[in-house]
Amino acid sequence: MAESILWEADPHTIAKHRILQAYLEAWAPILLQSHMGRIVYIDGFAGSGEYTNGYEGSPIIALKTIVNHAFFPKFTGDITMLFIEIKPERAEHLEALIKTKFSNLPNKIHWEVKTGDFGTNLKTSLDGLHKEKKRLAPTFCFVDPFGWKDIDVDLLSEFMLENKAELFITFMVGFIDRFSGDERNHKSMSKIYGKEQIDEINKQKTQEQKEETTLKLFIKNIKDTINKKGKTDRIYDLSFAAISRNNRLIYYLVYLTSHLKGLKVMKEAMFAIGKDKGSFRFNDFLDDQDPGRQGTLMDYNDVNSWQNNAGEDLYKAFEGKKTTVNEVENYTWTDTRWIFRKGILQRLEKKNLIRYLSKRKKNALTYDDYGNLEFV
């Protein structure tokens, strides 16, 4: 795989593509509607665009999703799609494939395959913008390397300082924990972790703890660096674990955004894929509210069970408080592992754990119309 132009897509690559596609399908209308200017999509580790077993690569999936979207014809702005690939033969293959598959693209789509290193290209673009005192257009950046040596916290944080920047990263944690004991790897690891953090990772007793620490510190470092660089908006993170048949972690998908809408869309996309039992799960160990439930596999097909659990978490957070449905909904998205569904509140209401302080209007369409509520 390391040297060939094409290779076989394994089940987790396919599942990752389904999350990407589900996200882009929902992301496209939001961006296409709300930005009449320019939007940017970067695939920083683009690959060749296809696999030997017939599956399409991420650049083709992204192009198709945008171009075939029902909203696309109405969009009056420009879309720039940049595909960066370091191996010239893969970049050439991808470019030829795009030309064949999308021979008649409208002018509002600008695409380019760049042969080169993701980090260098991103840095050059950001430096160029800063020199001209310009800001990056709303940009979604997919960072999908084979390993972890191209992950650079400083650069990714600089990118996240831009307004409306979103990152979607395949974080190959397995490599890190296997090699973190070997000092030869510490130079690459130092782009992600401080010296004490590498020691902290190595100190963990179980495989699982090592993986969790590796991810937690990675997200913490990105967030801390972004804050140090001066961004005060809250950065939301989501992570999703790809699990092999023998229950080993293959990689984490990590998503970072400062936009609530983006967070909701990605959580929904991960939720939909997470319903396929077995191969993916949300990371609940990042939920510091309830460390006792670490590592639990959630079955989202069992609506009763997950919505009861979600209700319990909300009750813990709001017990004795007066609040609004809106606030509870936002809290569910941003501070719990759950997605928001009306059923969560209905279950709480049935158990008399919440009561509404204003009556539902006759033709209420949304939960906002219920007004205030109290967790009793």
Per-residue contact flags (x/-) with ligand SAM for residues 15 to 54, judged by CB under 6 A: ----------------------------x-xxx-------
337 binds ligand SAM (CB under 6 A): no
**Chosen residue from 39, 86, 201, 314 binding ligand SAM by CB under 6 A:** 86
Is 101 a binding residue for ligand SAM by CB under 6 A? The answer is no
- Residue 85 makes contact with ligand SAM by CB under 6 A: yes
Record the tokens describing residue 296, joined without a space. 């639990």
> What are the residues facing 168 on neighbouring strands?
142, 255
Interaction pattern, residues 254-283, with ligand SAM; x per rule: CB under 6 A: ------------------------------
Q: Is residue 63 a contact point for ligand SAM (CB under 6 A)?
A: no
Question: What is the nearest approach in angstroms of ligand SAM to the Cβ of residue 225?
Answer: 20
Give the nearest distance from C-beta 295 to ligand SAM in angstroms. Answer: 27
Nearest-approach distance from CB 14 to ligand SAM, in angstroms: 10
The C-alpha angle 89, 91, 96, rounded to 5 degrees, equals 95
Q: Convert residues 113-132 into a mask of x (bound to ligand SAM by CB under 6 A) and - (unbound).
A: ----xx--------------
212 binds ligand SAM (CB under 6 A): no
Task: Please give the angle made by the CA atoms of 296, 302 and 303, to the nearest 5 degrees.
Answer: 110
Using the contact rule CB under 6 A, the part of the chain among 81-89, 211-219, 319-327, 359-367 near ligand SAM is: 81-89
The reply to whether 343 sits near ligand SAM by the rule CB under 6 A is: no
One residue of 15, 21, 42, 57 binding ligand SAM per CB under 6 A: 57
Does 84 bind ligand SAM (CB under 6 A)? Our answer is yes
Residue 375's H or E segment, with its range, is strand 372-375
Exposure class string for 255-264: b at 16+ Cβ within 10 A, else e:
bbbbbeebbb
Q: Which is nearer to ligand SAM, 158 or 284 (CB)?
A: 158
Q: Which is nearer to ligand SAM, 41 or 318 (CB)?
A: 41
Sign for the CA dihedral angle at 117, 119, 122, 128 comes to negative
CB nearer ligand SAM, residue 57 or residue 262: 57
List C-alpha distances in Å: 50 to 253, 308, 336.
21, 42, 37
Q: Quick one: which of 142, 205, 210, 143 has its CA closest to 174?
A: 210
Least separation in angstroms between residue 6's CB and ligand SAM is: 10
Sheet containing 165-171: order of strands:
109-115, 78-85, 38-43, 139-143, 165-171, 249-257, 236-243, 280-282
Task: Kindly tell me the sign of the dihedral angle through the C-alpha atoms of 43, 260, 315, 317.
Answer: positive
- Interface with ligand SAM: number of residues (CB under 6 A): 17
Residue closer to ligand SAM (CB basis): 90 or 264: 90
User: For residue 43, what is the DSSP state?
Assistant: E
144 near ligand SAM, rule: CB under 6 A: yes
- Order the strands of the 322-324 sheet from edge to edge: 322-324, 372-375, 354-356
For the chain, the C-alpha Rg in angstroms (whole number) is 22
Supply φ then ψ for residue 287, to 5 degrees.
-80, 95
If one asks whether residue 58 binds ligand SAM (CB under 6 A), the answer comes out as: yes
Cβ 125 to ligand SAM, closest distance in Å? 14
Burial classification of residue 274, based on how many CB atoms lie within 10 Å of its CB (0-12 exposed, 13-18 middle, 19 or more buried): buried
Q: Point out which residues bind ligand SAM (CB under 6 A).
A: 43, 45-47, 57-58, 84-87, 90, 117-118, 144-146, 150
